[in-house]
Amino acid sequence: MRAPKSRLPSLDADIDHFLDALWLEKNLSALTLRAYAQDLDSLRLYLQTRDLRLRQADNADLASFLAARLAAGAALRSTRRQLSSLRGFYAHALREGWIQHDPSRDLSSPRLGRHLPDVPTESEVEALLSAPDQTLPMGLRDAAMLELLYATGLRVSELVGLQLSQVDLPAGVLKTFGKGRKERLVPIGARAQDLLGVYLRQARGVLIRDQAQAAVFLSQRAKPMTRQRFWQLIRHYGELAGIQCQLSPHSLRHAFATHLLDHGADLRSVQLMLGHAQLSTTEIYTHIAQARLQALHAAHHPRG
């Protein structure tokens, strides 16, 4: 027995099958079924632009779809409702044996009132990284810390807690421990690799004063750098560079993720480098990157 066709738009077979099941099992109203239909059809159309069908979508595809909706101005409440529709559909697809894994399982609902962080532009980051006086040992240390933070997206606690044993400079990677002591490997990048090498060879020995110390970055007293002191330094260099937005150590983590996405990195890779447990946590950076593109289009396109 099928739901009356007059209640539903014309859809592909999988969506139609799901809506029939909803009508039979839950006796939903025509209005509610239509809302499910519209939610799923918008996903179907989005996936078509990627040459994918509903059964082929993975977690990253769904996260990107929801982030694109938010970037286009969709309300958080309607996006949360849409996520509920996707979860219902993929739970049904799993029960029917159409898919082996539910791609919606690890997606979390967008939070109402979610705040988008201020992210320095690429030119502002360049100005910030150039601000320390690299002819001085502490200036070289500060330049290396800023460059490494921007190159890796480390949390400030991961940066100030970094030890020599965690850095493989010839390989260009470092090992860090994020929340829950979860280990991850992060590429350093050529420029940060070079500057960190110069700091270790020329400045760290001056700062350590013959003391036994495993920390990479040291204070004037040959102690590990603190989060509070690095916070003060990044504000200081932001003022020197004439940067207007409020800077914090987290600003460079935001810039790391956003600028990667601006230049074509995929969301899953950014998630792994940031050490996010869930892809949904990383979605905010897709929102920021797409919002920037929209602002750029509006400012410079003749019909923007």
| 16 found inside a domain | yes
Q: Which of 46, 254, 285, 287 is catalytic?
A: 285
pLDDT in the model for residue 7 = 46
The domain tally of the chain equals 2
| 296 found inside a domain | no
For residue 292, give Cα distances in angstroms to 72, 130, 134, 259.
11, 24, 33, 11
| 43 found inside a domain | yes
d(CA 124, CA 117): 15
Pair (66, 202) in one structural domain: no
| 234 found inside a domain | yes
CATH number at residue 186: 1.10.443.10
| 300 found inside a domain | no
Is residue 72's pLDDT more than 70?
yes
Q: What is the mean pLDDT of residues 188-217?
A: 91
Token pair 């988008």 is found at 116
Q: Which of 155, 204, 254, 259 is catalytic?
A: 155
Pair (158, 38) in one structural domain: no
Is residue 297's pLDDT more than 80?
no
Pair (269, 171) in one structural domain: yes
Pair (83, 146) in one structural domain: no
pLDDT band at residue 5, thresholds of 50, 70 and 90?
very low
Pair (153, 276) in one structural domain: yes
**Are the C-beta atoms of 74 and 67 separated by less than 8 Å?**
no
Q: What is the mean pLDDT of residues 181-187?
A: 83
pLDDT in the model for residue 77 = 75
Pair (71, 145) in one structural domain: no
Query: Is 276 among the residues known to form the active site?
Result: yes
CATH number at residue 36: 1.10.150.130
Query: Is 259 among the residues known to form the active site?
Result: no
Pair (261, 129) in one structural domain: yes
Whole-prediction pTM: 0.57
Q: What is the mean pLDDT of residues 118-135?
A: 91
| 56 found inside a domain | yes
Q: Which residues form the domain of 158?
A: 122-285
d(CA 83, CA 112): 14
Q: Which residue has the higher pLDDT, 183 or 149?
A: 149
Q: Which of 253, 254, 259, 287 is catalytic?
A: 253
Dihedrals phi, psi of 248, to nearest 5 degrees = -145, 170
Pair (81, 148) in one structural domain: no
* Of the candidate ranges 4-18, 44-58, 228-242, 266-280, the one whose mean pLDDT is the lowest: 4-18
**Model confidence over 229-281: pLDDT tens digits?**
999 999 999 999 998 887 888 888 888 888 887 787 777 777 778 777 666 66
Pair (90, 153) in one structural domain: no
Query: Tokens at residue 298, please?
Result: 């509006």
Which residues on adjacent β-strands are paired with residue 184? 176
| 293 found inside a domain | no
What contacts 264, CB < 8 A, 6 or more positions away?
Answer: none
| 301 found inside a domain | no
Pair (144, 188) in one structural domain: yes
Query: Tokens at residue 50, please?
Result: 């990627």
**Are the C-beta atoms of 257 and 274 separated by less than 8 Å?**
yes
